[in-house]
Structure formats: structure tokens, C-alpha cells
Amino acid sequence: MKIIKSKQLYMAARERIPGAVNSPVRAWRAVGGVPLFITRGKGAHIFDVDGNDFIDFVGSWGPLILGHAHPCVLRELQDALLKGTTFGAPTEQELALATKVCRLVPSIEKLRLVNSGTEATMTAIRLARAFTQRSKIVKFDGCYHGHSDGLLVKAGSGIATLGLPDSPGVVAALAAETLVARYNDHDAVQEVFHSYGDDIAAVIVEPVCGNMGVIPPAPGFLSHLRKITRRSRSVLIFDEVITGFRLAPGGAQELYRITPDLTCLGKILGGGLPLAAFGGRGEIMNLLAPEGPVYQAGTLSGNPLAVRAGLATLKWISRRGTYRVLEKKAKYLADGFAQVLAKYRITGTINRVGSMMTLFFGVDRVRNSEEARQCDRERFARFFHGMLQRAIYLPPAPFEALMVSLAHTEADLRKTIEAFDSWSAGETR
Ligand SMILES: *Cc1c(COP(=O)(O)O)cnc(C)c1O
């Protein structure tokens, strides 16, 4: 495989764009090497500037559940384009999308469209604080909710601690308003509520974690969160930016039958264009301006192109059989990976919920961020590059989710398993 133009572009881009990328994980720092510059995608495949063809399991980090350049999405976009790209005024399609989302996710009575998941979580928290008139929030170590200041915090040592800034520029006093608990740990949650119960405005959680690699909720964990937030009258926020429309039409809350107060959506919602949303109980959402006093706004919010792409995607996935097919494809791939691990006696574990999964090397099980961090990152980097050499494009970091889409064919998945077998043979020789 020849990679020449990507290297040239990377060197040139670094002069003008920090790290040559517009979002850090794209720079491949966790695996080394130079990121590929992509020219186009079709179905489950992407093509780089040197003309190489890869089977893509990043799917733009989640949105592309239908694959790249899906005809249905393109048709909507072409029609929308000719009518103008933005008006800064309400459109009929925004109502159509809002109605569709409320039908698919019944806990959402009202919602607002924004441009990114970061905006959605940031504003959901502002609303929760206004609603409860409390200031502290609880998040879980390893869950990612975008890069707003209050959510860019890390845990201290211990199962439940005051948050510390996870980036220079985040003010310590603000980080301390965020309490950080260990994921899947009932006692940690109990502990923060015991110490700060009356100050806690909200608990925000990825109901299935996708950002420390895939980690499913332990049995009873989500219902524990529901009970404890209800009892202490704090707001339960499900960050379903990845899981929304991926695990079921109604997301993880449908799969695990838990009703949050607020939900954040993104990624699939925009069908590959910048779109996200937060929504939930009408009583809380009515606090939002102009209905209520909590301010939030956006020049391009509810952008017609993004709304049309999202609506086309949601219509497509609402067809019967979508989630059965996704499950079948993803299970086939995970089973294939597991057989290869066993065949070559490679220690590792595969966490999978529906069409999202992570292969952790060097560990037997991963239930929280501490266990995730114990995985073998060097082997992961070799795995990533070995697969890339075999034309498989995986997330370029060990703590990310591999995404299976409706566009992956059986042949794509078989080739991926064969590539893993071939790499493993070399790795263990
Ligand atoms: C991607 C992601 C976000 C942030 O969304 P952006 O659109 O990248 O700002 C928030 N929460 C979760 C769970 C995500 O996976």
C-alpha cells in the first residue's frame, strides 16, 4: 500500500491547523503514524488521497449508520440544497424531525436542535441547574460528554471525588462543581449523593459507554441512577449522542427500559451533517428561552440541510428489521474476532452492545475506566496498523468504539476477520 500524498498533506496541514486536524483523535497520536487524508466514501468503504480503498469501521465516529453517501440521504440533500442552505427562521422540516424524534424516543416530549453534542450536553446541564436551583453535577470517570468546561474534568483518586480540570484553561473552581464517580459502581454513586445530595442538579451518563471503549452498564446500574436521582429530586440526563438510534429506535433507554428526564442526541440524528439535540420532560424544556428564562441560541441551529439528512436517516432506520440486521452483522464480526483471539491464544476481551464494540487486548474484562486503562495499548497500535495494511480502517485509538453500519456486507465482515487472523498469525509467531 502506498501512502505518499497523505504524508505531504499532513506536513503542509500542520503549518495551518494545530496537529493537522480539526479534532484531536483524528491525528492518530494513540497509534502513531500519519493520518490518512480521505477523499470520498461509498457504503462501508472510504478512499484516501493515494487511491487506497478501506473497509471503514469509524463511520465518522458514529453518525453513518447507513454508511457513506447513502442514496436516500443524498436525494434529500440535493433537493434541500437547491432551496437554500439556511434561513434563520423556522421550517416545516424542523417540526417533522422533532415529531419523529419524540415518537421514537418517548421520554422526549419537547426538544431543541443544536449543532453539536457538546452544545447539547452543555445546555442540558444548564437547564437541569435552573430547574433544580442547584449547582453540582455528577459524571462518571471515562464518560465523554463533549468539551464544555464543566464536563472536561477528570477524577481524583477514589471511587467518587471532586472533579479536577482535565485541560489547561478549565477553571478549578468550575471543575469542582462536577463530581466524578466510577462507572458501574453503585457505592460510588451512593457516596456522592450521601455527601452532596441536596446540591446535585443532575447526573449525566452514557447509558452504554462508548468513550472509554464500549462498556455496557452493569445490571441494575441505570435503574440505581434512576432511583437515586428521583429520590433526591435531581435530573437524570442520558447522553445518547452515540447510542441514540444505534442500539434501538429509542436508544439505550429503550433497550434497558429506563426513562431519563433529559436526553442528549447527536451523531446519527444528523445523518452525517452537524446536528444534535437535547430534549425531555416538557416541564423542564419549557424553562428554555423564549418560553422560559434559560438562555440558549444558535445561528445555524436546525439547519435545513442537516435536518433533511437527519430525517432521511431516521426514516430509513425506522424500517422493520434494522436492528435485527445490525445485531446479526455485529455479532458475526465479534464472534469472528473472538475465535481468532482463542485460536492464537491472545489475551483480550470484546465488549459489544448491538453495533458498537471494542476489542481490549491484555485484559479479561473491562467494566470501568480503571480496567480499560490496563489494556495493552502497544498491541492495539500494532493491531491498528496491521489491519490498516490489510485495508481495514479502525478507530485509531484503543478507547473508542468500532461501529458496524447497515452498509457492511458479509464479504466486508469476512475480510475483516480474515485480516485479523492474518495479523494475529504474524503477531504470535
Ligand atoms: C461525540 C459525543 C459527544 C460530543 O458530540 P460532538 O458533536 O462531538 O460535540 C458527546 N457525548 C457523547 C457520548 C459522544 O459520543
CATH number of the domain encompassing residue 384: 3.90.1150.10
Give a yes or no: residue 343 inside a domain: yes
Cβ atoms of 417 and 333 closer than 8 Å: yes
Phi, psi of 227 (to 5 degrees): -65, -45
Cβ atoms of 370 and 376 closer than 8 Å: no
Q: Does 210 lie in the same domain as 334?
A: no
Q: Does 379 lie in the same domain as 245?
A: no
Q: Does 262 lie in the same domain as 125?
A: yes
CATH number of the domain encompassing residue 82: 3.40.640.10
Who's near 193: CB < 8 A, 6+ residues apart? 200, 228, 232
Classify 300 as helix, strand or coil: coil
Cell (9 digits) for 371: 480496567
Domain of residue 412 covers 4-57+321-427
Cell (9 digits) for 251: 436508544
Give a yes or no: residue 65 inside a domain: no
Q: Does 329 lie in the same domain as 307?
A: no
- The total domain count for the chain is 2
Last residue of a domain, one of 253, 288, 317: 317
Classify 366 as helix, strand or coil: coil
Amino acid symbol at 83: K
Give a yes or no: residue 64 inside a domain: no
Pocket of ligand 1 (CB under 6 A): 116-118, 121, 144-146, 206, 210-211, 239, 241-242, 266, 276
Residue 137 half-sphere exposure toward CB, CA atoms < 13 A: 30
Q: Does 207 lie in the same domain as 122?
A: yes
Strand 402-403 vs strand 356-361: parallel, antiparallel, or unpaired? antiparallel
What distance in Å separates the CA atoms of residue 363 and residue 342, rounded to the nearest whole number? 14
Cell (9 digits) for 225: 441512577
> Quick check: is 239 catalytic?
yes
Give a yes or no: residue 8 inside a domain: yes
Q: Does 79 lie in the same domain as 43?
A: no
Q: Over its length of 429 residues, how does the chain's per-residue pLDDT go in tens digits?
A: 899 999 999 999 999 999 999 999 999 999 999 999 999 999 999 999 999 999 999 999 999 999 999 999 999 999 999 999 999 999 999 999 999 999 999 999 999 999 999 999 999 999 999 999 999 999 999 999 999 999 999 988 888 889 999 999 999 999 999 999 999 999 999 999 999 989 999 999 999 999 999 999 999 999 999 999 999 999 999 999 999 999 999 999 999 999 999 999 999 999 999 999 999 999 999 999 999 999 999 999 999 999 999 999 999 999 999 999 999 999 999 999 999 999 999 999 999 999 999 999 999 999 999 999 999 999 999 999 999 999 999 999 999 999 999 999 999 999 999 999 999 999 998
> Quick check: is 323 catalytic?
no
Atom of ligand 1 nearest to the CA of 276: 7
Dist. CA 205 → ligand 1 center (Å): 12
Classify residue 355 by burial, with Cβ atoms within 10 Å: 0-12, 13-18, 19+: buried
Dist. CA 337 → ligand 1 center (Å): 27
Model confidence pLDDT, tens digit, residues 216-261: 999 999 999 999 999 999 999 999 999 999 999 999 999 999 999 9
Give a yes or no: residue 66 inside a domain: no
Q: Does 390 lie in the same domain as 243?
A: no
Q: Does 327 lie in the same domain as 274?
A: no
What Å distances lie between residue 158 and 141, 154, 222, 225, CA to CA?
11, 12, 21, 19
DSSP calls for 127-187: HHHHHHT--EEEEETT----S-GGGSEE--SSSEEE-EESSTTS-HHHHTTEEEE-TT-HH
Give a yes or no: residue 120 inside a domain: yes
- In terms of phi and psi (left: phi > 0; alpha: psi -120 to 50; beta: otherwise), the region of 420 is alpha
Last residue of a domain, one of 317, 349, 373: 317
Q: Does 399 lie in the same domain as 350?
A: yes
Catalytic residue among 141, 239, 261, 412: 239
Q: Does 180 lie in the same domain as 131?
A: yes
Give pTM, 2 decimals: 0.98
Q: Does 330 lie in the same domain as 303?
A: no
> H helices of 206-276, where?
221-231, 251-255
Give a yes or no: residue 387 inside a domain: yes
Give a yes or no: residue 240 inside a domain: yes
Last residue of a domain, one of 282, 317, 352: 317
Of the candidates 157, 143, 149, 158, the one whose C-alpha atom is nearest the C-alpha of residue 177 is 149
Nearest protein Cα to ligand 1, atom 14: 241
Dist. CA 323 → ligand 1 center (Å): 22
Q: Does 91 lie in the same domain as 13?
A: no
